[in-house]
Amino acid sequence: MHIQLNGETYALGEARSVAGLLEHLQFAGRRVAVELNFEIVPRSQYETTHLKDGDVLEIVHAIGGG
């Protein structure tokens, strides 16, 4: 299965939920925003939102600084 992740083609070996992808990418527990096919995915739906071949995702995370 292939998705577009932040503008790049990304191959997934298996179907995953948004939460599973975030864990795989080591973003679990971080403050991130996820857009799936041009719509924001609420954090409460990460576990139940499953990715499909051809999906387009943008993931951004906050970086603190001062």
* pTM (2 d.p.): 0.87
Structurally, at CATH architecture level, domain 2-61 sits in: Roll (3.10)
Do residues 27 and 61 make contact, with C-beta atoms less than 8 angstroms apart? yes
> Which tens digit of pLDDT belongs to each residue from 10-36?
999 888 999 999 999 998 888 899 999
Distance CA 54, CA 63 (A): 29
Distance CA 66, CA 59 (A): 23
- Residue with tokens 């992808």, as numbered in its chain: 21
- H-helix segments, the chain: 18-24
Do residues 28 and 22 make contact, with C-beta atoms less than 8 angstroms apart? yes
Any idea where the domains of the chain sit in the sequence? Answer: 2-61
Biggest CA pair distance of the chain: 40
pLDDT category of residue 65 using cuts at 50, 70 and 90:
low
